[in-house]
Amino acid sequence: MAIGEAGPGSVRDGSQPRKRLEETMRARLGRECVYVPSCRFGLYAALRHWCPPGGRVLMSPVNDDVIFFVVLAAGLRPVQAPLNPSDASVDVDAVPEDVWGSLSAVLTTNLYGNPDPAPGLRARCDASGIPLFEDAAHAIGSEVGGRPVGAWGDASVFSLSKHVGAKAGGILAVADPGLREALEKACDDLLLPRRTTAELAYAVRPYAEAAVRGLRLRRAAWATMRLLGLMEREEIRMPLRPDELARAVASAPDLDAHDPWVRVDMHDYRLRAGRFRLGRIGRRLDRLDDVLAACRSGTELLLSTRWGQPADGQPRTSVQPLFRVPLLVADRDAAARALARHGIVVGYLYDPPLDDYAGAAFTDPSPSPEGARWFARHALPVDPLRARSVIAALEESGVRPAEVPGGLGPTGG
């Protein structure tokens, strides 16, 4: 079957809305794209295609724990990287040479839309003969080295739930167009059948969320979900459940065995999409440039405040349309409570770092963990689309900016 043709039950299923999503992202990135139901699903497919079981993957310790479990599900060993404390990007020069020699791949995070140093990572991966993967879930509009984030790796994955705001969908993009058909088939083999209940829930979700916001019922809704056992996170990190996780890791690569961890916050992450869902995602994607412009404007405003100044003291050369702006505050929890009093919820917190969270049983710890710990403790990720309300609330509450301890900073590069 030629690329672009559809067979019965295939991932494409003859869907024009899906094809349009792929073509839109192809135009943005200049590379072949495959629609996937979620970023995490696309990442799993990429890891399984390129990396042999037992391989070691360098990644950021300040990252969503779901991504950590995706790496484990693919039968790989996470290796935590040292980070630049100003934006949690990978500090390339602080990675020991013996670590570089042991890796099977590198996975970027581009946290909140701040790009990792993809040109330097690309060069190191090429020198080592290993693939570079870009997790661009937060960075659909960011650029680095004169290219869009997602245009540097052998493969890159995007979320259509973040800037696009579709609450579903993702894109797997590949540098080698000759691999597209194989990856499309691999995704097709991993997908689960479409569920009518899931499609119905997706259809009514925006209206339910609007009602909750309009009636100021957020706390009541959360309490009901907790009572029904639907809240899978009581803290920032999900429960590790090390004994169960060890059994799952022993069976890896195995997505089914890791499903209790990988599905958290998105139980339909590997379901086939219906036409209604794909149509809504497409309409949202059509408005992406307007959203990115508003995000860039809000980001610029937030970065001009005393909480937005770079922790390393280096001047910024550009402003990205960040998904969340990580303001650096002295007391993150107190600042989050101050925002909550004004109806502003702080999410996308990744504290503690993954090596502190999971331990040496499941990951190689960072050789220099201080930068990641400092950033995770002091970063207050706020929505740039609510920039003025955030600034007013923080000013009213007297929130102080964080001060970087002496000697804490990137090694250079």
- Domain shared by 97 and 217, yes or no: no
* Range(s) of the domain holding residue 300: 287-397
- State both tokens at 336: 């989050």
* pTM, entire model: 0.90
At residue 14, φ and ψ (nearest 5 deg) are 65, 20
- Domain shared by 171 and 54, yes or no: yes
CATH at residue 301: 3.90.1150.10
In-domain check, residue 352: yes
Say how many domains are in the chain. 3
In-domain check, residue 347: yes
- Domain shared by 161 and 204, yes or no: no
Q: Give yes or no for a contact between 32 and 173, defined as CB atoms under 8 angstroms apart.
A: yes
- Domain shared by 207 and 154, yes or no: no
pLDDT tens for the chain, 413 residues long, are 333 333 444 444 447 899 999 999 999 999 999 999 999 999 999 999 999 999 999 999 999 999 999 999 999 999 999 999 999 999 999 999 999 999 999 999 999 999 999 999 999 999 999 999 999 999 999 999 999 999 999 999 999 999 999 999 999 999 999 999 999 999 999 999 877 777 766 666 665 555 555 555 555 555 555 554 445 777 899 999 999 999 999 999 999 999 999 999 999 999 999 999 999 999 999 999 999 999 999 999 999 999 998 765 666 678 999 999 999 999 999 999 999 999 999 999 999 999 999 999 999 999 999 999 999 999 999 999 999 999 999 999 999 999 877 666 555 43
In-domain check, residue 244: no
- Domain shared by 81 and 115, yes or no: yes
Task: Give the number of other Cβ atoms within 10 Å of residue 5's Cβ.
Answer: 10
Domain boundary among 190, 223, 258: 190
**Residue 195, pLDDT score:** 73
- Domain shared by 186 and 138, yes or no: yes
In-domain check, residue 368: yes
Q: Which of 169, 133, 128, 127 is nearest to 150 (CA)?
A: 133
Distance CA(187)–CA(336), nearest Å, equals 39
